[in-house]
Structure 1
Amino acid sequence: MLKKERQAYIIQQINIHNKVLSSDLCVQLDVSEDTVRRDLQELAEEGKLIKVHGGALAKSFHFTIESKQVYSLPEKKIIAHKAIDLIKDGMLVVISGGTTMRELVNMLPPDLNATFVTTNVPIALELLEHPNAEVIFLGNKLLKSAQMAVGAEVVQRLGQIKADLCLLGTNSIDLNFGITDLEWEIIEVKKAMIACAQKTVSLAISEKLNTTQRLQVCALDQVDVLITELAPTNEKLTPYAKLGLSIL
């Protein structure tokens, strides 16, 4: 595989999943760690990603004051618009992070009177701009790569909440392995979010369908609703509907 092809593949994976691990890229591309390291360094120098220890992050996923392009923004706006219909006045909603969630928060109706619980710093900051929403930030150790609070205290505090809705940003989703992610600390928080809510909603662009990461967040029987940008009748979603998920 030529360098341009390798780097195009890396950019595609990081756009879809927000983060890549060097060790996974070595296997997927069948190249050495040094080759992957050089590719990531070049892409970082070109401003196409953020190089971190053991891998790289998508620039749009890593929030700063400076505005950045968001991958698949039209699709994420469609997903956000669908999800908003599930949020009602008086609800207690736990919400994770990611660019789709930021679009959702920015679309919330100004007169919506709901309470949002999050461990994600950018989402908390965005929610502070809403005129009527109450914001509860569960803080502890901050994981820099995800800009979210993690750790036993966060998990414990989530266990003391009875939420109406869990809005779950999804890295990968698969019929057999369910929802998967890369980092154990993030997974532990997401598990606690799912456990504390009456209904769990997975938000994912369709490119994340039928993909897997290393660690399981939950099986699909723990997910109530799947929202993508596709029409609910799209054939890609039929197998998920057959497993009992409501499709929006």
Structure 2
Amino acid sequence: MSLNERQQQLLGMLESAGEVKVAGLKEHFGVTEMTIRRDLEKLELAGYVKRTFGGAILASKDVAIGDRAGVMADEKQAIGRAAAALVQENDSIFIDGGTTTLHVARYLKPDLNITVVTNALNIAIELLERKITTVVTGGMALETTATLVGPGTVETIGKMAFDRVFLGATGLTAKHGFSNSNMYEAEIKRMAIAQASETNIVVDHTKYGAKELFSFAALGEAHRIISSEPPEESLLQACREQTVEVVIASKNV
């Protein structure tokens, strides 16, 4: 079943939060409540979500960490390829959970003698299959994202030093910076940034202008944004003022 861009964005929000509310979606997208309900109905018919009173949840864990990879797949693949190209020999890097960051892991070169730390179980499996040295943080497992979070994860990351980190974000605005709808994952991202020499944020263009509850970094705290399309001029200008490099990944590689 074909999804329009708004429906793809809506599904992306569900992937990050596990649950959405009609009232919030109506305000976020600037459309009527009926439009949002029709979108959710279509996603339910496609098997992605289950509607609830006032909103929707992901249909299952398999959708959360499996089928969701098909949303903006070409863009995420291109972003992952461009991000992985930044990794240098003997680097120690951190990759957090997400469908875009998963593509970063998939494009890493095994012969670079790198070490990758991750709190994402699916990314750890991907790295092990590629014979890349992998360190998995401890912590409590979140079912919808297959990530490890909590005090144990924060403590582990706090004792490490990374050459560069690759983090996903649910939202990006000049004022609110980089944000995520899950406070536990936002906490992990903050700690990873604190321990990194270089911070790379990987986001597809649907995250521009979105603002989630938990900001994990101001715009200027990132060294680089890697995306599929350039942001609107006002956000691009804000990036220039904060000396944040914006890399636009090519899908024609």
TM-score range, shorter chain: 0.7 to 0.9
Number of the residue aligned with 1:115: 115
Secondary structure of residue in 2 paired with 1:166: strand
**Contact 2:101-2:168 at 8 Å conserved across structures:** yes
Find the aligned partners of 2:84 and 2:217 in 1 and give their Cα distance: 23
Note the alpha carbon deviations across 1:117-150, whole angstroms, 9 max, x for none.
011111111111112x210001221111221111
Find the residue that maps to 1:24 and give its secondary structure.
helix
Match of 1:3 in 2: none
Q: Look up the match of 2:103.
A: 103
2:93 is aligned with 1:93: yes
Structure 1 gaps of 5+ residues are 1-6
The one-letter code of the counterpart of 1:191 is: R
Give the Cα–Cα distance (whole angstroms) in 1 for the partners of residues 202 and 63 of structure 2.
15
Q: Deviations over 1:93-117 (max 9, x none)?
A: 0101212122222222232211010
Aligned length: 235
Q: Per the alignment, in what secondary structure is the counterpart of residue 86 of structure 2?
A: coil
Query: Is the Cα contact below 8 Å between 1:158 and 1:196 reproduced in 2?
Result: yes
The answer for the alignment partner of 2:48 in structure 1 is 48
Identity over aligned pairs, percent: 25
| Deviation at residue 179 of structure 1 after TM alignment | 0.5
Partner of 2:251: none
Distance 1:52 1:150 in 2: 26
1:1-248 equivalences under 5 Å are 11-17=7-13, 18-19=15-16, 20-22=19-21, 24-25=24-25, 28=28, 31=33, 40=40, 43-49=43-49, 55-57=56-58, 62-64=64-66, 70-131=70-131, 133-230=132-229, 235=233, 237-248=236-247
Rate the CA distance shift 1:27–1:74 in 2: closer, same or farther, 3 A: closer
Q: Quickly say closer, same or farther: Cα 1:26–1:154, change in 2 above 3 A.
A: same
Residue pair 2:69, 2:99 contacting (<8 A) in 1 also: no
Q: CA deviation at 1:173?
A: 0.7
Moved more, 73-82 or 39-48: 39-48
Q: Match of 2:197, SS?
A: strand
Cα shift readout 1:219-245 (whole Å, capped 9, x = no counterpart): 11211111112369x846343223210
Contact 2:48 2:63 in 1 (8 A): no
Q: CA deviation at 1:75?
A: 1.5
Q: Give the Cα separation in 1 of the matches to 2:180 and 2:221.
A: 16
Shift of 1:57: 3.8
Distance change (3 Å), C-alpha of 1:207 and 1:219: same
Per-residue deviation, 1:55: 4.0
Check whether the contact 2:166–2:200 (CA below 8 A) recurs between aligned residues: yes
Letter in 1 for 2:57: A
Amino acid at match of 1:13: Q
Secondary structure of 1:62's partner? helix
- More helix per residue: 1 or 2? 2
| TM-score for both structures, normalised by structure 1 | 0.81
Q: 1:128 to 1:148 in 2, by over 3 A?
A: same
Q: CA RMSD in A?
A: 3.1
Q: How far apart, CA to CA, are the structure 1 residues paired with 2:105 and 2:195? A: 21
Alpha-carbon distance in structure 2 between the residues aligned to 1:117 and 1:77: 21
**Contact between 1:15 and 1:58, CA under 8 Å: does it hold in 2?**
no
Q: Which has the higher contact order (CA 8 A, sep 6+)?
A: 2
Q: Return the offset for 1:88.
A: 1.0
